[in-house]
Structure 1
Amino acid sequence: MRNRDLRPAAKANPTIQQAFERFQKYNRLKNLSQGSLDFYAAKGRSFFRFLGDTEQPIHTITEETVEDYIFYMKDQQLHDTTINTNLRMVRAFLYWCMEKGYLEKYPIRLVRADDPIKEPYTTDELQKLLKEPDCKTCSFAEYRNWVIVNFLLGTGCRASTLLNLQIGDLDLSAGTVFFRHMKARNQQIVPLSKALVRIMEEYLEHRSGDPTACKTVHHRSCWRGLQELAWDRGA
């Protein structure tokens, strides 16, 4: 009887696009959050724009390719922190390709970046952010931004956690909020101060929200409000 050849067959080298699709499939199997998947997709698009042709074999990406990408980003006058953010995706993707045998192994190092000192809010800025607006004369956007600042300050949650908050997650009678969407994919119940409970009760009343309904807490323009706060510290 003819003996079977049990040696593994040589792996066909996929294209860059095929390799990235397999990488994202692997990430979904790892149960990464949608935010992480979106991060890889967005940073992948930036890398692929630099490469130009994603139908070429994945093994055409060499250590020199990565170095050229760094110089390309520097020519675009990107900050070193932004360059490293893009490189983290490239490194995760290419290291996975190396583990799969698609690429020869080579190191991918981040650039040396200065760690800037974050300027804290001044007393005057904090007073502007925390001063309660007059609901009879201010716009809804101004009032909404004030509620956002108080909620972020009172709970310490991330912007993405706030944006995924449901009215049903608030238990104002018990003074707690249930965070179901967090970066580490865990869930958490956080106590609310009496002052924040009062603010949230008034906010739900002003936005015509039903506290018993399972709708989003934020107004549909809430994300724009978070961006406004990031762009204009004096708002």
Structure 2
Amino acid sequence: MKRLKMTRVKNDKTFKSGFKEFISNCKVKNLREATINHYEISYKQIIKYLDENIEISDINKNTFEKFIVNVKEYSNANSQTLHTYSRDLKTIFHFFMDQEYMQRFKIILPKVDKYPIEAYTDEELEKLLKKPNIRKCEFTEYRNYVMTAFFLSTGIRLTSLINIKIKDVSLSQDIVNIMHTKNRKALTIPLNNQIVKIIKEYLNYRQYKDDGDYLFCNIYGKQLTKSSITQALLSYNRSRGVEHTGIHRLRHTFAKKWILAGNSVVSLQRILGHSNLQMTQNYINILVSDLKKDVDNYNILQEFNKSFIKLSNKNKGENYNGKNQVESI
């Protein structure tokens, strides 16, 4: 008889077949449909730089590193896109490791270049938050105005706003219950007095059947989609003379204004729905360069500089030795 040896049995699963198992597992774990769609879209990009017929048992650290190099060399992907593809591939590889289809190895994701986040200026906000003439405007313009005000008052994500139902808003308690969140944990956000008044008035024109209807809807009273809101607010901004647009920019503007007002970072964490304070801190760190502009606009040293220190204009600030001369008053 042939004696058994301590040799690992090599499976013949390919990356393609393994990915199908991964998607099935995502469905079993009841991940959101949007999350599953994201992985499927990401897979189509990943296999441009990784052979989908490669046997999973042959995948190793070098495979992952070669994938990163290929994306860098043969695509115009920025650092954030590269990070996203790599993160998704890491998740898939970890699933393979858990199934013991491949040997474990440490996966280090490429870093993302951090750029200052551009928030809306006060001038732009003034244009966006100017209430339209209800007697003359269309429902969509009025709705877009209310949505913009809601985004700026709560800092919520687009997917959260889409899924808010009328019953989730308690105008007597001045709160909104966010049932659809990124981490699936329900979130309750206080509403300021002004947005409460805006919502109260908006509901008079919403023409809903019952409180199970969505708070924000299309002209037929149906739930909005990500693309329809993005396009609607793009048109709304441009009609107001604001060329720069972006749903997430509204969230960043909320965070920036919150910090500039001296409010609590811990409270901001809760409102933004971050699972830990570090996520909020990273969010704020990205805003630092943007906040620098505001600091420069209010430079206390420059404000009092003319009153206490000025350069002598005589001989262009030079004394008889040719050295710069500062005259104190």
Q: TM-score, normalised by structure 2?
A: 0.60
Preserved CA contact (<8 Å) 1:13 1:102: no
1: CA distance between counterparts of 2:91 and 2:53? 20
Task: State the match for 1:115 in structure 2.
Answer: 114
Task: State the match for 1:94 in structure 2.
Answer: 93
The CA deviation string for residues 101-132 of structure 1, in whole angstroms up to 9 with x for no partner, is: 22233443322332101122211111112211
Preserved CA contact (<8 Å) 1:163 1:218: yes
Alignment coverage as a number of residue pairs: 227
Shift of 1:159: 0.9
Instruction: Say what the alpha-carbon RMSD is for the aligned residues.
Output: 2.9
SS at match of 2:118: coil
**Matching of residues 28-177 of structure 1 within 5 Å:** 28-51=27-50, 54-74=52-72, 75-177=74-176
Identify if the C-alpha distance between structure 1 residues 219 and 177 changes in structure 2 by more than 3 Å, giving closer, same or farther: same
Q: Does 2:230 correspond to 1:226?
A: yes
SS at match of 1:195: helix
SS at match of 1:87: helix
SS at match of 2:188: strand
Identify if the C-alpha distance between structure 1 residues 35 and 225 changes in structure 2 by more than 3 Å, giving closer, same or farther: closer
**Matching of residues 8-23 of structure 1 within 5 Å:** 10=9, 12-23=11-22
2: CA distance between counterparts of 1:60 and 1:136? 68
Task: State the match for 1:204 in structure 2.
Answer: 203
Moved more, 158-167 or 222-231: 222-231
Larger CA Rg, structure 1 vs 2: 2
SS at match of 1:13: coil
Shift of 1:81: 0.9
Shift of 1:11: 6.6
Identify if the C-alpha distance between structure 1 residues 230 and 44 changes in structure 2 by more than 3 Å, giving closer, same or farther: farther
Shift of 1:165: 1.1
Identify if the C-alpha distance between structure 1 residues 200 and 222 changes in structure 2 by more than 3 Å, giving closer, same or farther: farther
Identify if the C-alpha distance between structure 1 residues 227 and 72 changes in structure 2 by more than 3 Å, giving closer, same or farther: farther
- 1:99 partner letter: D
Identify if the C-alpha distance between structure 1 residues 11 and 26 changes in structure 2 by more than 3 Å, giving closer, same or farther: farther
1: CA distance between counterparts of 2:215 and 2:77? 36
Structure 1 segments, 4+ long, off by >6 Å, are none
Task: State the match for 2:194 in structure 1.
Answer: 195
Preserved CA contact (<8 Å) 1:33 1:185: no
Task: State the match for 2:302 in structure 1.
Answer: none
- 2:202 partner letter: Y
Moved more, 163-172 or 88-97: 163-172
2: CA distance between counterparts of 1:89 and 1:104? 18
Structure 2: runs of 5+ lacking an equivalent: 219-223, 244-329
Preserved CA contact (<8 Å) 1:145 1:226: no
- 1:141 partner letter: T
1: CA distance between counterparts of 2:229 and 2:91? 33
2: CA distance between counterparts of 1:49 and 1:141? 41
Moved more, 224-233 or 129-138: 224-233
Shift of 1:98: 2.3
Task: State the match for 1:214 in structure 2.
Answer: 212
The CA deviation string for residues 211-233 of structure 1, in whole angstroms up to 9 with x for no partner, is: x3311222135632335546958
Identify if the C-alpha distance between structure 1 residues 207 and 73 changes in structure 2 by more than 3 Å, giving closer, same or farther: farther
